Each structure stands twice: as structure tokens, then as C-alpha cells.
């Protein structure tokens, strides 16, 4: 019974999803449905926070065999990821109550929104590789309808692409789970790993090849090269609240799986100094640079933000693959601050689309006059993403760069900081000009649309969630001490 709360955390949003579908009184008005969905998300956050503050718990759901248990556990890693995902999902959900009023198929959107939340929380609480894979696949299938939501030709094509990439990546991950299971001392995740390095059932070379395939496969969800192609296609066609969680939350599902495999199954010592580490670092560093370059060239606002996510999430992966305590702490900081800033940026983009219909970067000229609050929040989050102090993006990138310099990771000990610096300059190049043109850009007679001639900021239901995310980026950037201590403690237990 002591682990029952773990089951509640999974079943609560799942039950809420079914009630949205099958209880007629919940769909008599938008207000009733939104109140119910909001209540479920708030209750879920409370349950997740209670779990995070409680002692470690384990709940075995069932056992396929003794070596294949399906179980949930609240350890240090699950607490960090579950709290972050639940809070981000809830904030974007409250924003959607206003935004979705101009969308169709609201009922199905909220049904899939809640059940995807359930699968994500289950993923963070997974205690074994098989459990993790089960909920990883479930999360993919349940989140796809949010990409398909508008039912347009472009949305269907993007949804199919999302599914193909995700299933291919998950299949690559499953290959690793097949090969790892007979070579570990415990089916449960163990801090530092439980790989039986002296008793492998296949050669080290073959095993390392499989590890690379596995980690690149799970990196698909994080948008890592060469499996990044789905992300800039799926984000622009989804409703903006869905784009926000696809970028800020669901990409972290891939990060979590990579984190679990490296630090709870294989162990960092097995990978350190091998060609596997160099390959993974090469893929991540390439993604950081490539994503920034593609974002710089892109003219559609949401697609530019999507390419930005390709780059920024791989900052996290660089920090993980360096296999250094300081770099890992920086990676976890970057994960938090990317979730905050990128959710806020996508929600700002949604507010702009909702109020003006503008989708192109060139449309943003002079928008600061009609949507001052929205554009100021956009600007602050953009500065954080660049990595300018005192906002949160700076401290995260600082720790990753410092960790790289002391990691002893051969050429990557200096190459990673160089790539991060170049990417920061490129990030400034594709985000800050939007704000400059919004506040100081000229306006021609042809641009004098009605939307630019009056105050046009969205309702408080949309502005408050964006403001909360932006304020958190500022406050946690100025006072990051407790997060640094928490992440350093976790990193110290893993090495």
C-alpha cells in the first residue's frame, strides 16, 4: 500500500481523460469542461509534489517474469522529471482554455492531453527498462493526435512523420533493451548502473554498437541528429499549447530514457573514453550547431522555434554525454530552463497567432506597439535562451561549458564550449531581431493592419501562464542555488 500514491499519479489524469470522453455533463459547455480539466491537472500536480517530497517508494504492478517486472518507483531522477513535466503540462493546459476557443475538436484535444500527461508521469516513475519502454511507446501513440488536431493535409502528414520517426527510434531503443537485459545484475534501475561488464553475452565491440543505436534511438524524441526530422515538421501544425509541450516536455522524455540507460543501467565508467562517447558527443554537438543554423534561415515563427528546440535540447545531451559531474548538473539546469523558456516562447507565438493571425517572422514588425506585454515576455525568454545573465539560460550553459573543460573528453573538452558559444551567437541572431523589429522596426502603409493599430494583448488566461514561466526563468536564474545543490547531489550519486 505504501506505493499506492504512485498508481494514483498515473491513473488520475487517465481517469480524467475517460470522463471527458464519456460523461455528457462535462461537455455541456466549454466552461464545465475547462474547469474539470483544470481541476484534474492541479490535483495531479499536488500528487506529484507529495511523491517528490516523500521517501522513495516502489510499486510492482505485475511480473511478466522475474527478470521482466512492470514497476513504478519514485527515486531522485523520477522526482525531478515528474515535477517538471507535471507543472509545465498544467501551465500550458490553463493557457489552452483561452487559446482553444478558436479551435475545433476541443473535446478530443483535452481527452488526449490528459491521457498523454498520464503516460508521461508513468514514464518518469518507471522502475525498469521494460516499464520505461512500455510507457515511452504509449506516450508516442497518445500524443500523436495533438499533432493531428487540425485534421488538415499538413497536420496529417506531420502526424505520420512524427509516428514513423518515433516508432523507429523506439524500436532502436528496444534493441538495446533486448541486449541489455541478460547482461545486468538487476532488472531495476540502479544508481551508477548494474552492467556485468566481465560477463557480457556478446563481444564488447558488438555491445557498444548496440548501445550507440539504442541511445540514438531514444535521442529521436529529443530531436538529436540524425533522427531530428520530425520536430520542425510536427511543431508548426499543432495548436500552440501542444507545440509548447511537444518542445518543452515531450522532448525531455527522450532525455530521460538516455539518462536512465547511461546512469542507471550501463554506468558512466563503461562509456567514458570510448568511441561510443565520442560518437554521441559528435551527434549532440552537430545537432546544437545545425539546429541554430536552420533556425537562423527559417522565416515561419513556430518553425524557427522548433529548430531552436532541436539545438537547445542537445545542449542537455552534450552535458550528459560528457560524463562529468559539473556538466551533468548543467545539463539538468538546461533541461529546466529550456522547458520554461521554450514553453513561454511557443505560448507567446500562440498569442500572436490567436490575436493577429501572423505566422511569419517578417510580420512581427511594430508588434510591440499593439502587443507590448506579449513581446516583452517573448524578449525576456529569448534573452534567457541566448544565455545572457542573470536569466536562467546563462547559468545552465556556464556549467555545461565548465564541465566540458574539466571533463578530459579529448577534443570535445574544448570543442563543446566553442560550439555552445557559436550557437549562443546564432540564437541571438534568430531571436533578438524579432524583438528589435517589434519595438523599433518601421511600419509601412501596407503593414498597417487593424491588429497593429490597437492594444491587442491576449486575455489574462493566456498572459498569466506566460508571465509565470518568464518570472520563474528570472527568479531561478538569479537564485539557482537550491537547484544546483539538488542536481549536484544527484550527479554525485551517479558517478
**DSSP 3-state assignment of 195?**
strand
β-sheet bridge partners, residue 58:
73
Cβ neighbors of 247 (< 8 A, separation 6 or more) are: 231, 235, 305, 306, 309, 342, 343, 346
Helix/strand/coil (H/E/C) assignment for every residue in 434-462: HHHHHHHCCCCHHHCCHHHCCCCCCCHHH
Q: Report the alpha-carbon distance of residue 264 to residue 266 in Å, rounded.
A: 6
Residue 232: its pLDDT value, please?
Answer: 85
Domain ranges, ordered by start, for the chain: 272-495
**DSSP 3-state assignment of 302?**
helix
For 15-66, write each residue's pLDDT tens digit.
999 999 888 887 788 888 999 999 999 999 999 999 999 888 899 998 888 8
Q: Which residue do the cell numbers 515511452 mark? A: 136
Residue 446: its pLDDT value, please?
Answer: 46
Q: What is the DSSP letter of 60?
A: E
**DSSP 3-state assignment of 244?**
helix
Q: How many residues appear in the chain?
A: 495
Residue 272: its pLDDT value, please?
Answer: 93
Cβ density class 68-81: b for 16+ within 10 Å, e for less: ebbbbbbbbbbbbb
User: Which of 186, 199, 201, 179 shows the shortest CA–CA distance to 68?
Assistant: 186
Question: Residue 453's CB: how many other CB atoms inside 10 A?
Answer: 12
Q: Which residue do the cell numbers 558512466 mark? A: 268
Q: Which residue do the cell numbers 551567437 mark? A: 425
The dihedral region occupied by 274, where left means phi > 0, alpha psi between -120 and 50, and beta the remainder, is: beta
CB 223 within 8 A of CB 233: no
> What is the secondary structure of 379-419 as a DSSP string?
HHHHHHHHT-TTSHHHHHHHHHHHHHHHHT-TTHHHHHHHH
| Residue 188 backbone dihedrals phi, psi, to 5 degrees | -85, 155
User: Which of 284, 327, 261, 278 shows the shortest CA–CA distance to 491?
Assistant: 327
Q: Report the alpha-carbon distance of residue 388 to residue 391 in Å, rounded.
A: 6
**DSSP 3-state assignment of 73?**
strand
List the chain residues with pLDDT less than 70: 1-2, 442-455
Amino acid at each position: 500500500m505504501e506505493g499506492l500514491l504512485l498508481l494514483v499519479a498515473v491513473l488520475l489524469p487517465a481517469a480524467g481523460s475517460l470522463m471527458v470522453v464519456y460523461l455528457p455533463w462535462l461537455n455541456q459547455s466549454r466552461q464545465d469542461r475547462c474547469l474539470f480539466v483544470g481541476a484534474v491537472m492541479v490535483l495531479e500536480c499536488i500528487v506529484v509534489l507529495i511523491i517528490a517530497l516523500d521517501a522513495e517508494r516502489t510499486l510492482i504492478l505485475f511480473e511478466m517474469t522475474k527478470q521482466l517486472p512492470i514497476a513504478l518507483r519514485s527515486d531522485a531522477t523520477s522526482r525531478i522529471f515528474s515535477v517538471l513535466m507535471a507543472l509545465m503540462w498544467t501551465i500550458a493546459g490553463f493557457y489552452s482554455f483561452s487559446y482553444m476557443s478558436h479551435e475545433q475538436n476541443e473535446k478530443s484535444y483535452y481527452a488526449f492531453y490528459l491521457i498523454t500527461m498520464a503516460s508521461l508521469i508513468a514514464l518518469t516513475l518507471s522502475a525498469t527498462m521494460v516499464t520505461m519502454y512500455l510507457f515511452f511507446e504509449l506516450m508516442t501513440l497518445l500524443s500523436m493526435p495533438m499533432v493531428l488536431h487540425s485534421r488538415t493535409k499538413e497536420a496529417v502528414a506531420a502526424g505520420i512523420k512524427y509516428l514513423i520517426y518515433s516508432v523507429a527510434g523506439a524500436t532502436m531503443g528496444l534493441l538495446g533493451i533486448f541486449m541489455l537485459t541478460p547482461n545486468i545484475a538487476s532488472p531495476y534501475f540502479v544508481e551508477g548502473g548494474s552492467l556485468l561488464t566481465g560477463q557480457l553475452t556478446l563481444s564488447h565491440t558488438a555491445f557498444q554498437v548496440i548501445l550507440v543505436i539504442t541511445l540514438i534511438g531514444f535521442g529521436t524524441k529529443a530531436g538529436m541528429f540524425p533522427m531530428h526530422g520530425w520536430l520542425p515538421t510536427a511543431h508548426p501544425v499543432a495548436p500552440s499549447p501542444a507545440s509548447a509541450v511537444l518542445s518543452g516536455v515531450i522532448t525531455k522524455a527522450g532525455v530521460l530514457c538516455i539518462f536512465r540507460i547511461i546512469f542507471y543501467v550501463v554506468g558512466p565508467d563503461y562509456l567514458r573514453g570510448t568511441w561510443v562517447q565520442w560518437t554521441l558527443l559528435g551527434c549532440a554537438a552537430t545537432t546544437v550547431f545545425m539546429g541554430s543554423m536552420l533556425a537562423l534561415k527559417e522565416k515561419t515563427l513556430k518553425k524557427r522555434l522548433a529548430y531552436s528546440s532541436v539545438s537547445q535540447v542537445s545542449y542537455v545531451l552534450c552535458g550528459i554525454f560528457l560524463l562529468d559531474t559539473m556538466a551533468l548538473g548543467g545539463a539538468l539546469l538546461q533541461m529546466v530552463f529550456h522547458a520554461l523558456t521554450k514553453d513561454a516562447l511557443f505560448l507567446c507565438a500562440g498569442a500572436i497567432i490567436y490575436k493577429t493571425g501572423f505566422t511569419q517572422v517578417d510580420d512581427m514588425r511594430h508588434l510591440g506597439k499593439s502587443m507590448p506585454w506579449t513581446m516583452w515576455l517573448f524578449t525576456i525568454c529569448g534573452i534567457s535562451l541566448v544565455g545572457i545573465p542573470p536569466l536562467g539560460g546563462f547559468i545552465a550553459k556556464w556549467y555545461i561549458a565548465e564541465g566540458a573543460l574539466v571533463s578530459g573528453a579529448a577534443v570535445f573538452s574544448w570543442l563543446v564550449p566553442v560550439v555552445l558559444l557559436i550557437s549562443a551567437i546564432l540564437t541571438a541572431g534568430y531571436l533578438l531581431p524579432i524583438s528589435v523589429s517589434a519595438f523599433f522596426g518601421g511600419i509601412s502603409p501596407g503593414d498597417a493592419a487593424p491588429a497593429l493599430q490597437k492594444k491587442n494583448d491576449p486575455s489574462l488566461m493566456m498572459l498569466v501562464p506566460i508571465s509565470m514561466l518568464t518570472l520563474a526563468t528570472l527568479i531561478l536564474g538569479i537564485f539557482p542555488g537550491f537547484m544546483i545543490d539538488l542536481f549536484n547531489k544527484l550527479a554525485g550519486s551517479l558517478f
